Amino acid sequence: MTTAVARTRFSIAGEASSRGPARSDASPPASTSRRPDFATTAAPSGGVAEPGEASFARPRLPASSRRALEILAVWTLIGLFIAAQRYLRGPSLQPRLALPLPESLAASLVTAYLWAGLTPLIMRVARRFRPRRGETASHVVVLLGAGIAAALLHLLATNVFWHIFDPRGSGGDFAAMFFATLAFGGAARLATYIGIVGVTWGIDDYRTYRQRELQASELERELVQTQLEALKLRLHPPFLFNTLATILPLIRTEPRAAARTVVQLGDILRLALHNDATGLVPLKTELEYIRLYLQIEQTRLQDRLEVRYAITPEVLNAAVPNLILLPLAESAIANGVTVRSGRAAIEIRAWAENDELRLEVREAATPSAEPAELPPETPIDDSFVRKTKLRLELLYPGRHLIGVSERSEYGHEVSITLPLEEAAVGSAAGASA
């Protein structure tokens, strides 16, 4: 709304200016003559700020200015350190070169600030001519030549400065002073140049390492997300097809049961699509998913399926991956209930043990039923559990356990061990939305 009003005002002003100046005898409105001019600024929300609204955006220094200040600060610290070292160690180790504190400080800071002025150029040369495969010899020659030139330039600038601003007022022989300083400090200046080159390469290597680390982390995160989404897409087709096959005959024979099954299926699909693959939900929310699923299976299997729960109250708010128990319940039905001739039971257990969450889905024949003779050569279809294993490896690498018992006429079980963590408050709200 603000942007539309501002554009209308601007268009009216533009039309008025295009018509030419107003007649001289027409006096402008009082509000126009008294109204000051305001600069139009961008509002934080992206619209146009109203006149009189000030923009409080903090000005930011350009990158080049920030780098220059960083270089100046570093060389200031180096100059202060050298001045303190020269002042404290001079009288005992080099009595002839000992200087009072003000002169020692001035000499060290002048030397440091001259290097600060040369540092950007040296860093540019170091990056441009860094030795690479096939160009090592030529680049080393260029770097050595640049080092000699930088050392001589720094030496010359230092002598010119002190020749002009000599506090003792004695200029002396400039050439003699230059060569004496060259013999005394030329090697140190060349070593300083080599140090700047080395620090430049170290900074570049660290930045490259950090950039590659961030890129690898981003790629790994995207890979994990892609794998989880792919697993989520493959998670439910058997259950979905079985439910649709259950609904079809119920539409004619038991319309109420068919309608109830459709509602339950819709609840499960809504919850599955609402929560992302990496989301953690409270265990009580996960148990609600399983309750809906097993109710649908009870409708499909009629009186052949019995469901039991053994959940300790202290783990109801424990965090578990979204829909982590559904493949295990599918496995119990596909590998146990549907292959038995009589009644079977599925028991879901959850408890805490040694700061870990233990989850267990067990399938077995009911006590009143005869144990079914299962063909020993019929293996367990581990496709359901394999999906859960892949998911847990992505979500809890090295911090989970999953086990599958051998199938017998008395049933089989799948157990999961996860870190015992409290579910976030927002996860429960998001799961029930």
Question: Tell me, what's the pLDDT at 393?
Answer: 84
Query: Pairing between strand 305-311 and 344-353?
Result: parallel
Claim to verify: residue 417 and residue 276 sit in the same structural domain: yes
Domain membership of residue 362 as a residue range: 234-369+376-431
- For residues 122-143, give the mean pLDDT: 89
CA pair distance 325, 416, nearest whole angstrom: 9
Claim to verify: residue 201 and residue 262 sit in the same structural domain: no
CA pair distance 239, 411, nearest whole angstrom: 21
Claim to verify: residue 271 and residue 174 sit in the same structural domain: no
Is 4 domain-assigned?
no
Average pLDDT of the residues of the chain: 75
Is 270 domain-assigned?
yes
Claim to verify: residue 320 and residue 425 sit in the same structural domain: yes
Domain final residue pick, 175, 192, 219: 219
Claim to verify: residue 202 and residue 289 sit in the same structural domain: no
Q: Percentage of the chain with pLDDT > 90?
A: 21
Is 350 domain-assigned?
yes
Is 2 domain-assigned?
no
Contact residues for 41 (Cβ-Cβ < 8 A; gap 6+): 48, 49, 53, 54, 55
Kindly report the pTM of this predicted structure: 0.46
What is the tens place of the pLDDT at every residue in 348-401? Answer: 999 999 999 999 998 887 765 555 555 555 566 677 788 788 888 878 888 899
Claim to verify: residue 239 and residue 209 sit in the same structural domain: no
Question: Tell me, what's the pLDDT at 16?
Answer: 40
- CATH number at 280 reads 3.30.565.10
Domain final residue pick, 196, 219, 242: 219
Lowest mean pLDDT among 17-21, 184-188, 407-411, 429-433: 17-21
Reported confidence tier of residue 178, pLDDT bands at 50, 70, 90: confident
Claim to verify: residue 176 and residue 280 sit in the same structural domain: no
Claim to verify: residue 128 and residue 264 sit in the same structural domain: no
Reported confidence tier of residue 7, pLDDT bands at 50, 70, 90: very low
CA pair distance 346, 410, nearest whole angstrom: 12
In the sheet where 344-353 sits, what is the strand order? 305-311, 344-353, 356-365, 412-419, 401-404
What is the tens place of the pLDDT at every residue in 243-283? Answer: 788 788 888 888 888 888 888 888 877 776 666 555 788 99
Lowest mean pLDDT among 138-142, 277-281, 289-293: 277-281
Claim to verify: residue 210 and residue 308 sit in the same structural domain: no
8 A C-beta contact, residue 321 and residue 383: no
Lowest mean pLDDT among 68-77, 157-166, 197-206, 389-398: 157-166
The domain total for the chain is 2
Lowest mean pLDDT among 106-120, 137-151, 194-208, 396-410: 396-410
Domain final residue pick, 190, 219, 248: 219
Claim to verify: residue 263 and residue 212 sit in the same structural domain: no
Claim to verify: residue 208 and residue 300 sit in the same structural domain: no
For the chain, what percentages of helix, strand and coil (3-state, to nearest 5) are there? 60, 10, 25
Helices (H), 234-333: 237-253, 255-274, 283-301, 326-332
Reported confidence tier of residue 28, pLDDT bands at 50, 70, 90: very low
